[in-house]
Amino acid sequence: MGTRMRPLTFTANKHLIPVANKPLILYAIETVADTGIKEIALTYNPGGLDIIKNFLGDGSKWGVKFTYILQENPRGGLSNIFQVCEDFIGGDNFLMHLGDNIFTGGIQNLYDHFMKKKPHGLVGLVHHPENTRLGVPYFDEEGHLVKYVEKPENPPHDYAVPGLYFFDNIIFKCFKGKDKIVPSARGEMEIASAYQWLIDHKYQVDTLEIEGAWLDPGKVQDWLEANLFLLDLNTKTKINSNLDKTVRIHGRVTIGKNCNITNSHLKGPLNIGDNVTITNSTVGPFTSVYHNCMIIDSTITDSVLMESVIIDKVRKNIENSIIGPNTNIAQSDHSEHYCELLVSELSKISL
């Protein structure tokens, strides 16, 4: 649904919006595939199958097989996601990786622990200064998990639970019988309720810290920060186009194929996609420019440009911005005392 990323998500699936020039969902797919898992279920909301399936295909690109499964109620909650996948899972163990979470260090340590130690559940942990807005684990004096609470007011530590969950097949018992879990006050089948059911029924639930950074680009500022972090972490100098001699490059810059760049200053970390035209401009640092964009006589820093954006002779620097696909931003040839705007619902403009 992606309401926190509106207006971008009025017309774009949040999981397909690029972070550091890679669509968000690909981080999750690659992370799961890197563990050696070969079968992945992708859940979708009503009306959302064609977009995601046309984009991702059958999974063969990543050496895995995709199965697409409908979650009829988009607000059913996280536990409802694997509930609707019960037939797909069969009698196997499984992990659930939220499609909008990024784990820069991978999840191999958790996967190996789960497969070797064989707990009934495994909770990944991260340190987070604002864990009051997340799920929080509670431990006894011996360090055993005794409670998992969503958004507590006064958590006893800075641990939080990110969007990565491991279970064996026992968990499907939590949806059956007199003591089955029920929707919370907000009407969702909470992931915390599933783990709490295991704990209350004396099943083993382990915890383990996740290696590397955890990124959750759910809001605009989070997206910009994730873009910055990943560009800084992953950008390597790789030039796949012939550049004009008038182009100056400082820092690590990746440039895609068939780009036409002249008389411009490129500052890394910077990632430029394919078929991009840049003329008389300064671009970067900490900026990603997706495919088929055009930047003319402008300066852009700390920003995300989605596909087919045109920036034309904008006199003010563009900073800390996310610009949606097929957007045209041009300096007016008319009076400097007014602007001409065509703006959709829930847009944000700073002048």
Note the pTM of the prediction, 2 decimals. 0.90
Residues with Cβ < 8 Å from 52, sequence gap 6 or more? 13, 15, 16, 25, 42, 44, 68
Alpha carbon separation from 218 to 4, 94, 221, 224 (Å, rounded)? 6, 25, 8, 10
Residues with Cβ < 8 Å from 172, sequence gap 6 or more? 83, 86
- Bigger pLDDT: 38 vs 154: 38
Q: How does residue 52 score in pLDDT terms, banded at 50, 70 and 90?
A: very high
**Could you state, in order of their start, the residue ranges of all structural domains in the chain?**
3-219, 235-330
Q: What percent of the chain has pLDDT over 90?
A: 69
Tell me the pLDDT tens digit for each residue of 61-99.
999 999 999 999 877 889 999 999 999 999 899 999 999
pLDDT of the residue at 324: 84
pLDDT of the residue at 338: 57
Q: At what angle do helices 49-56 and 24-34 cross, to 10 degrees?
A: 60
Tell me the pLDDT tens digit for each residue of 162-215.
999 999 999 999 999 889 999 888 888 899 999 999 999 999 999 999 999 999
d(CA 192, CA 198): 10
Q: How does residue 151 score in pLDDT terms, banded at 50, 70 and 90?
A: confident
Angle (CA) 347 350 351, round 5°: 130
Q: What percent of the chain has pLDDT over 70?
A: 91
128: its two tokens: 């987070």
Its CATH architecture, for the domain 3-219, is: Alpha-Beta Complex (3.90)
Fold of 235-330: UDP N-Acetylglucosamine Acyltransferase; domain 1 (2.160.10)
Tell me the pLDDT tens digit for each residue of 265-310.
999 999 999 999 999 999 999 999 999 999 999 999 999 999 999 9
Q: How does residue 113 score in pLDDT terms, banded at 50, 70 and 90?
A: very high
Tell me the pLDDT tens digit for each residue of 235-252.
999 999 999 999 999 999
Q: Tell me the three state secondary structure of residue 68.
A: strand
